[in-house]
Amino acid sequence: MDKLRAIQYFNRAVEAGSFSAAAKSLSVSTPAVTQMVGALERLLGVRLFHRTTRGLSLTAEGERYYKTSSRLAAEFMDLDLRVSSRSGKPHGTLTVGLWPSLGQHCIMPRIARFVERFPDIELVVNVVRTIQDFETANVDISVLLGWTDVRNLVVRPLAQMRYLVCAAPEYWARNGRPHEPEELRNHQCILQSRPDEPLLDRWIFEKGTERRTVDVHGRLLGNYRDFLLEAACAGAGVIRVNDITAAPFLRAGRIVPVLADWEILEAPPVFAVYRRTERHSKLVRVFLDFLVEIFAEIESERTPAPAGALPRAPKPEWFGRARGRRSAYVARGRKSRG
């Protein structure tokens, strides 16, 4: 067995959330990934994944193995890049499109590492929010949030967001902390929309086989997350944020999560996207490898997900098709089906 390849396939299956998605990103067959991971499990004598109809989730042994294997993979990649850069360094201009909060909180704080490795690459960084923006912009590769099934582009999964319900410590001190999802109806919630989304005023919680749906309300609304997050940090209300881009605010104690034993559904995945014509571009390749490296680091630093959480979130039925309020869209759908 090629153990290094098996580890690569295992890491990719963790990052992609399924054997099929890992196979697609590796340009191999799904059975090839399944067989390699199975051979690795037999070699180690432990089960690395729980396999269910809902997808993959890591066992305790798998969590420990991934934490080390992802770090080793990043070190091997760094070694390869450093050696190869001595003979034929990538050079030229690379234009990158970034979802704003991912750029600000995940990628740009680590970008010095990339520019130091590749001094002959001129890096241009622009804001890109949607696949449509990417397709019309003069951008080589983008990092986006959301769901996509485009066939004319190469899509590489990088991470799965997890939602947290948070507020400033002083807000919780004034208003009390909810212990059940339904108690959020008694709070001022800060509501966000994004391109191709309605106003997200319906929050869905799951714990084991139990699911609860809460239509929240508030007087502070907007489509720019960082504005709303600063308002939450100032005590303006309760906000639903993803754990990756909100990590600096959580570490600083500016916002505090509640209902941590519940999984909050409909959190979007993070992915890189580039044109098929760029598949052999050295510039795109080295930046994509850099993205995989840093999101593996981010994954190793995250708080573990609630037991039974989905490794990848399915696309909500309203995504890309709804306007107005999320709760109203669901109500209209039920009425039309009735």
* Structural tokens at position 124: 């241009």
Adjacent-strand bridge partners of 264: 205
Identify which of 28-37, 172-181, 192-201 has the greatest average pLDDT.
Answer: 172-181
Q: Say whether pLDDT at 79 is over 90.
A: no
Burial label for 145, CB within 10 Å (0-12, 13-18, 19+), is buried
pTM score: 0.67
Tens of pLDDT, residue by residue over 312-334, are: 566 666 566 555 565 654 544 44
Query: What confidence score (pLDDT) does residue 15 get?
Result: 76
Q: E-strand spans in the chain?
A: 49-52, 55-58, 92-98, 121-127, 141-145, 153-160, 163-167, 189-192, 202-207, 210-215, 220-222, 238-242, 256-258, 263-264, 269-275
Instruction: Report whether 100 contacts 226 (CB < 8 A).
Output: yes
Query: What confidence score (pLDDT) does residue 284 get?
Result: 93
Domains, the chain, in order of start with CATH, read: 1-84 (1.10.10.10), 90-160+268-307 (3.40.190.10), 163-266+314-337 (3.40.190.290)
Q: Say whether pLDDT at 90 is over 80.
A: yes
Cα dist. 88→106, 282, 288 in Å?
A: 29, 10, 18
Query: What confidence score (pLDDT) does residue 106 get?
Result: 93
DSSP string, 149-167: --SSEEEEEEEE--EEEEE
Query: What confidence score (pLDDT) does residue 336 get?
Result: 44
Share of the chain above pLDDT 90, in %: 48
Cα torsion 248, 251, 254, 258: sign: positive
Share of the chain above pLDDT 70, in %: 83
Tens of pLDDT, residue by residue over 123-144, are: 999 999 888 888 777 889 999 9
Q: How many CA atoms lie within 13 A of 125 on its CB side?
A: 14
Type of residue numbered 140: D
Q: Say whether pLDDT at 214 is over 80.
A: yes
- Tell me which residue of 52, 67, 63 sits closest to 308, measured CA to CA: 52
Cα(283)–Cα(274) distance, integer angstroms: 12
DSSP conformation class of 108: G
